[in-house]
Structure formats: C-alpha cells, structure tokens
Structure 1
C-alpha cells in the first residue's frame, strides 16, 4: 500500500511541478505565493502517503526551528545537528524494533532528507552570521545564509513537494534562488529596446525542461521494470541460505553478490531519477549550458548511473552515488573536521541511516577500502603510465576490481544483519580484506618511480640540458 501511495504522490508531484513552473513562475506571482504552494502541496502529499506518521515530518523541523531562533548562532549548528539526529534516531529505533528487516516505505526516508535540510541550513546560518568570508571554503561561502529565514521560508524549504519524498537534498541558497527566479542566472537572454525612451529590457529565456524530464521519467520507469522483473530471480535473502553457502563456489557467490546488489541499485535509480525529473519539471535544477550550448539540468541530480557503473576507483563510485548526501556530508563534516576526516564522515553517514548492523559493516568497509584505494593509486598506478597499453591494462583491472569490490562492500547494507553478513565474508575467505591489508603493507614499500610526465621530460633532455635549465631557474 505504501508503495502505491508513493508512486501516486510522485506522479502527482510531477504534474504539479509543471503547473508551478508554467502558471506560478517568479515573473507571474510573488515569492510568498510560490512558497505557500510548495509548502501546502508538500504537506498534503506527505499526509496522503504516510497518514498519522506525517506528524514526524512536522515535529523534527519544528524543534530545529525553535533551536535556530533561540540559540546563539555560534552554537546553532551543533544544537540543530544533535536535535535532528536524536529525533531521527528515535524513529529509526522504533522502526527497527517493531518492523525489523522490512523494506516497506515508511516515514524514515523523508525524515532523513529533512534532517539533511535543517542541518545544512543551520551550518549555513552559522557560517553567514559568525564567520569571516576568508575563513570559508568556496562552497561554504556560496551557501552561507546571512539572514535568519522567516517561518514561511523555512517550512517551505523543508516541505517543498519536489524533493520531500525521495530527495535529493536541496541546499537553502539554491532553493531560495529558485523561488525568486535567480536560478536562471546564466540563461540565454534577449534584450528589447524601446526607441522612444531608450530603455532596455532584458528578457531571460528559460530553457524548456521537457526533453530532459521525459528522458528521466522513461529511464526511471525502465529501472523500476528491471528491478521488479529480475529481483525475484536473485533475492538478497538467498545469501542466508545454507544450501547456497555450502554448495556453491566462491566464484558463483561473488557473481551472485554482483548481480543482486546491481538489481537493488535499480530501485534507487528509479526513485532518484524520478525525483530529479520532478525538480526539473518545476524549473529547479538548471545549471547553465554545456560546451555545445545545450542546457544542463543536473543541479539536483542525485545519481550518475553511467558514472557509477563504469567507475574505475572507489572515489569515483562514491562521487556518482547519492550525490546530494555526499555534498551534505562534505559540507557539514569533511570540510570542517581537522583530523580523521574519513572516519567521522562515514560514522555520521552510518548513524544517519539507522542502527542496522549491516549499515555499519558497509561504512566501516567503505572507510577501510577508501584508504586502500588511495594508497594503491598513489604507489602502484605510476607503474602503469608508461604506455597506452599499460594504462589500458590498469583501467581494465580497476574496472573489474570495482565491480567485485562494490558488491562485497554493499551487500551487507542490503542484507542488514550482522551474522549472515560475516558468514558470507568467511565463505569467500575474506579475500578482498586480505588483499587490501597486503596492499597497505606492500604498496608504500615499493620503489618510487617518477610520474610519466617527469620521466618523459628527463628522457628527452641530456644531463647538461637539465643542469642548464636548473641554473636558469635559480637565476
């Protein structure tokens, strides 16, 4: 029932997004009208989908807004982060106790997005009101909020219907720019001239999102069809079956992990791409033009399917998956802590997701293999840069490795349980962990070689030329 309601709300949101862009554009109505429309529709869809559970959608941001209004701006970010995570954790815990292992849609999904919104806003207010611009990173400087939002602005931002159900997190600055029409900066413009008055009027040509919206809706529905059609053949619960564990080879187990985790990803692709289409249909998500002059609608994109599935390293995989959450984690953790950045970032991500042991196994492994990936790339990759053939071999090896590694890291996130996950690790002999530990020990001890560019320069010059060049630089 929840899934049916979810689909109905998303298709309704898609239609209403077009109405907002067409009939309630910034040039036709006031900003307050657009705020009220987004807020009322968001609340209505939230109540339709979740019924009485929707009280939590109002409870968490209300408490956080009280904190924003009453706390010192120097501490506001810590208070809001603590308040929102405690509230979200209580809901996570309740779900885990009374509906353990369930994959049904519930209120925790929208609450997780709301938590991202209120915490990112609190940090932006803290940056805008208490820190000097030279202390901020370029992203923090852009997102800084120098005036406390009004009640209407705040709750419209929290509940706007385009991204309430499945995200992505839209940062406050981007949302306010959208409400006022400033998100079209960089759009093509026409200039009209009144010959009598000499007055020039600039008319901004808003690019039509129709082609990209149609494309994203079709791709989203295809992803849903893939998931519904094939997931019964590769159920994740089979990983707990004794017959599967004892009577299949290591190679088949790894193949099964790769297929079942890929199929589960199609469920996320469906939800995120459709949500992206809703944002685009309302005019939210425009980010300028590419080199060929085509409009780009990727500001609100939460996933790059091709970039993720074809990634050659763990960093690239992470950057292309759940991009809104990556921006949120970078904004409030990674760019702010001075030590153990990776550990704190993965820890917050795990806590934000809930308390299932499988989450913590996935993020612990993610932190470990992130370190392994960095060490390997720094110390081994230079050996493969001497020729195109060697570079192609390296890319092929890393491509195959990433497919295996992502399945190995993420299956516990889907399986949720601790003992079955560890049992699977043991049945594949912990090979990725063992290889990772070996690389951490061996890779830094390998002989250092210059980068390909440095080697080429040194080979193309005689010793005397190098000495003369050095002498000239010193002069």
Structure 2
C-alpha cells in the first residue's frame, strides 16, 4: 500500500486521474530536483556518497508509491550480489541471475495479477529484473577473453566486481528506477566518476531537459483528453459493435495510439530528468553538438512519422529493445538461425511482461507482422513501375497516407490484447474485427506467391531515393531512417 495515498487519490479524483497513475507522474517529476541537487553539489565527487544519495532517493520514491513492498527490490539485489560475488565472472552467475530474477518476477505476477492493467510494485521490479541480469552479464563478459566479445560487450564489460553500493544505486537511480530507461552498469559508473563532463563540470543540459519535460507533459495532456473519448469502454459498447468494419479499424487504431501515448509521455518525462542530471550524455556529433540520446527511450520524430511497422517498433522503448537485442537475441547467435533468435527474444519479452494471454498474442502478432512486412517489401521493391511511382513526390505522399493509416489500424489491433489482457476481454473485440490481422499477416506466406506473380517485373532498376532526393533526379527527401526494429515492450 502506498503512503500519502489519501491526498494523492483525492487530487487524482478531482482532476480525473487514477491515484496510482498520479503518484507515478509525481515520482517522475521528483527526479528533477534530485538531479539539480546532485549536479550542484556532488557531480563527479564522493562516489560512495553519490551511491548512497541515489539509493535513498530511489527508495523514497519506491516507498512513496508502494510502501514496504519496496523490500522485494532489496531482497533481489542482495541475493544476487552475494551469488555473483562468490562465483564472480562465471557462467553460473549469469544462469543464476536469469533463473532467479525471472523466477522471482513471475512469482510476483502469479500472486498479484488482476483482471486489468495495474500500476503496482511489479512495474519497477520489471526494470530491476533486466538491470540485475545485465549486471551479471557484464561481470561475466569482463572475465572472458576480450577478443571473443562483440563490440557492445567490449563497451559494457566490467573487469572488476562493482561494490554493493554501486550495484544498488544503479537500480535505485531516481531518474530511471520506476519505469526505466534501461542502461548498462558501465554508463552509470562513468556518470558517477564524472566522465560525462568538461573540465570537471557537467555540460549544460538544462535547456534540452526542460524541452523533454515540456514535451512529455504535452503528451500526458493528449493521453488524458484522448482517453476520455476513446478508451476500452468504447470498444465494449454497442456504438462500436454497430460500426462497419472500416470504422471499427479506425477506432481501434486511434485507441492503440492513445494507449501508446500513456507510455510515451512517461518515457519522455523520465528521459528529461536523465538529461538534466547528465547521465544521458552520448558524446558529440561531427559538428561538436552534444548528443543527449544515451537514455532515449522514444524517437518521437520517427514514431509520429511512421508509415511502416518497422518504424513503429524501432522508435519506442528503444532502451529495452537494445537490452533484449544484446542479452537475448545476439547471445543466441550460436544457434545460427535468426528466426529462432527473434522468436526467443519476443517470447522472453512476453514472459517478462506477465502471464496474461494478451501479452503473448501481442508479441505473436508482432512476429507475424514484421516477417510479412519484410517479405512484402522484398517483393514490391523488385517492380520498377511501382518503385518509380513511390519515388515520385506525389506517389510517395499518397502511399504514406495510406500506409500510415494501415499501420495505425493494425498497430491498434496488436495493442487490443496487450491492454485488455484476458481472452474474455480481447477475444470479443478480435471477433468483431473478424480476426483480420491474424488472417492478413498470418496467411501472408500462402498468398505471397500470388502478389509476386502480379507484380513480376523484368524492367530496369528504378531510381533510388537518397538523402538528397532521387538518385536520378531532384527534390526533397521524404525518407525516414529505418531504425533497428527487433522487439517492443512496455
């Protein structure tokens, strides 16, 4: 049970927001004054005192939200630290971390999950689970032959065992304790040691941080207003059932977008505090401009301009996607099969989210969609006439409008089970939509040969769109860079 619940719940009732959600937002905002204090008085100094400060601040935030349920975090941190310290650098420590932390999380889900999505102590424990497993991996990599490591592993490997204070502070860092973002222990240690600075002073990050805070609060407002009109109750209403198929899909698409804004807004607010503190520092670009993308969890430009599922998946929850790519997908490289690695990564994410059937359907749909989209693109790009049309300015924008609408609708189709969780809730909605997403994407391999025959082309290679326009012409480029799209998560 959270402390100070009465006044927060009363305020939430007055402004139309659940008390738990309001406490979460307040907690994300608390990280800003804490970041100010750290920048002003402790940046790059007194490493152990910094660890203690972060542990105390993060613990207070956890207690503010969930009371003494915070003790679960202490238990997991302490047990893993003892085991990794005793067996430091061995494969056993990684296996133990994976089994123990995921087992503890699943036990929590089994004992606490309800019929709806709840904001409860398992949310920060999700973040803790990945972070502790990542610590074990990094210590393990630090004791392996350096030449056997990948580029990412070389950058994150820990050759010496971090202290218990450092390990706990990495978990409780107030800017990322509640909902992330994920980042490796090495980034945290470099931050504490003052490596993200110039002449011992942190870079000026106030402007970029305030811009992210303002943007995050803007999306909070969009979600609050949108959720009034398009919410799960609408999907269960007779109004929705009486709509035709196209209108139902549009409503589902808008519903999915609004639901995503709930996560997007929180990620941006959290990222702002990480920028303010300086832990998001990611070097300078070729022009000497500081990049504050080290803890970027949402590429909002790509997210809003998405006209492909790959764009959508690659644009949000980037830090968690990176963690899963590095610690699940890439570490299964020895299997020699990308499909198996991709499936394992998505299954891991589904299990990590919880035990509800909706999570598994959502990630199964992602698997179907991403594979169908890749196959469809490989077929279409071989037709020179279609590509000339797409690469023309008017053709490109007509395609984008159509594709954006299609992507929005079927991304919403994926979000229905993710948010409604139980089959008895999301099943009837899928029935109202004629299971169209499963049919379109699941059956794609069956009708792909027909599409291939219809668009078969032996013509010349079409002009290619480049950053400056078309390869054989002029005009502005409308291309959105393709982000690495592997997995998505909460």
Once the two structures are TM-superposed, the CA of residue 438 in structure 1 deviates from its matched residue by: 4.8
Find the counterpart in structure 1 of residue 162 from structure 2.
Answer: 149
Once the two structures are TM-superposed, the CA of residue 292 in structure 1 deviates from its matched residue by: 4.7
Find the counterpart in structure 1 of residue 249 from structure 2.
Answer: 254
Find the counterpart in structure 1 of residue 382 from structure 2.
Answer: 382
Q: Pick the aligned partner of 1:210 from 206, 209, 216.
A: 206
1:16 aligns with 2:34: yes
Find the counterpart in structure 2 of residue 308 from structure 1.
Answer: 303
Find the counterpart in structure 1 of residue 355 from structure 2.
Answer: 355
Contact 2:220–2:262, Cα closer than 8 Å, also in 1: yes
1:95 aligns with 2:112: yes
Rounded Cα–Cα distance in structure 2 between residues aligned with 1:136 and 1:443? 39
Q: Pick the aligned partner of 1:230 from 226, 230, 234.
A: 226
1:330 aligns with 2:346: no
Rounded Cα–Cα distance in structure 2 between residues aligned with 1:451 and 1:154? 55
1:84 aligns with 2:84: no
- State which drifts further: 418-427 or 46-55: 418-427
Q: Deviations over 1:236-276 (max 9, x none)?
A: 133233x2453121122111111222112221122111111
* Larger of the two Rg values belongs to structure: 1
Rounded Cα–Cα distance in structure 1 between residues aligned with 2:360 and 2:239? 25
TM-score of the aligned structures, taking structure 1 as reference length: 0.85
Find the counterpart in structure 1 of residue 408 from structure 2.
Answer: 403
Rounded Cα–Cα distance in structure 2 between residues aligned with 1:451 and 1:428? 39
Contact 1:245–1:424, Cα closer than 8 Å, also in 2: no
Q: Which runs of 5+ in 1 are unaligned?
A: 190-202, 455-459, 461-475
Contact 2:39–2:202, Cα closer than 8 Å, also in 1: no
Rounded Cα–Cα distance in structure 1 between residues aligned with 2:311 and 2:83? 37
Find the counterpart in structure 2 of residue 168 from structure 1.
Answer: 181
Contact 1:239–1:420, Cα closer than 8 Å, also in 2: no
TM-score of the aligned structures, taking structure 2 as reference length: 0.82
1:138 aligns with 2:154: no
Find the counterpart in structure 2 of residue 192 from structure 1.
Answer: none
Once the two structures are TM-superposed, the CA of residue 395 in structure 1 deviates from its matched residue by: 4.2
Give SS of 1:315's match: helix
Find the counterpart in structure 2 of residue 62 from structure 1.
Answer: 78
Once the two structures are TM-superposed, the CA of residue 406 in structure 1 deviates from its matched residue by: 0.9
Rounded Cα–Cα distance in structure 1 between residues aligned with 2:95 and 2:463? 46
Is the alpha carbon distance of 1:395 and 1:229 closer, same or farther for their aligned partners in structure 2, counting shifts above 3 Å? Answer: closer
1:424 aligns with 2:421: no
Contact 2:43–2:202, Cα closer than 8 Å, also in 1: no
Once the two structures are TM-superposed, the CA of residue 25 in structure 1 deviates from its matched residue by: 1.2
Once the two structures are TM-superposed, the CA of residue 100 in structure 1 deviates from its matched residue by: 2.6
Find the counterpart in structure 1 of residue 261 from structure 2.
Answer: 266
Is the alpha carbon distance of 1:222 and 1:391 closer, same or farther for their aligned partners in structure 2, counting shifts above 3 Å? Answer: closer
Is the alpha carbon distance of 1:381 and 1:439 closer, same or farther for their aligned partners in structure 2, counting shifts above 3 Å? Answer: farther
Question: What number of residue pairs does the alignment pair up?
Answer: 431
Give SS of 1:231's match: helix
Contact 2:170–2:185, Cα closer than 8 Å, also in 1: yes
Once the two structures are TM-superposed, the CA of residue 177 in structure 1 deviates from its matched residue by: 0.6
Find the counterpart in structure 1 of residue 342 from structure 2.
Answer: 342
Once the two structures are TM-superposed, the CA of residue 218 in structure 1 deviates from its matched residue by: 1.1
Rounded Cα–Cα distance in structure 1 between residues aligned with 2:63 and 2:425? 37
Contact 2:275–2:281, Cα closer than 8 Å, also in 1: yes
Rounded Cα–Cα distance in structure 2 between residues aligned with 1:86 and 1:4? 30
- State which drifts further: 415-424 or 47-56: 415-424
Contact 2:117–2:419, Cα closer than 8 Å, also in 1: no
Q: Deviations over 1:380-419 (max 9, x none)?
A: 2332333522555554443332212211111211111213
Rounded Cα–Cα distance in structure 2 between residues aligned with 1:204 and 1:66? 34
Q: Deviations over 1:145-182 (max 9, x none)?
A: 11111111111112121211121112111111101112
Contact 1:237–1:415, Cα closer than 8 Å, also in 2: no
Find the counterpart in structure 2 of residue 129 from structure 1.
Answer: 143
Find the counterpart in structure 1 of residue 7 from structure 2.
Answer: none
1:41 aligns with 2:57: yes
Contact 1:63–1:83, Cα closer than 8 Å, also in 2: no
Contact 2:205–2:275, Cα closer than 8 Å, also in 1: yes
- Trace 1:365-380 onto structure 2 (pairs within 5 A): 365-380=365-380
Find the counterpart in structure 2 of residue 289 from structure 1.
Answer: 284
Contact 1:129–1:146, Cα closer than 8 Å, also in 2: yes
Q: Which runs of 5+ in 2 are unaligned?
A: 1-18, 465-471, 473-490
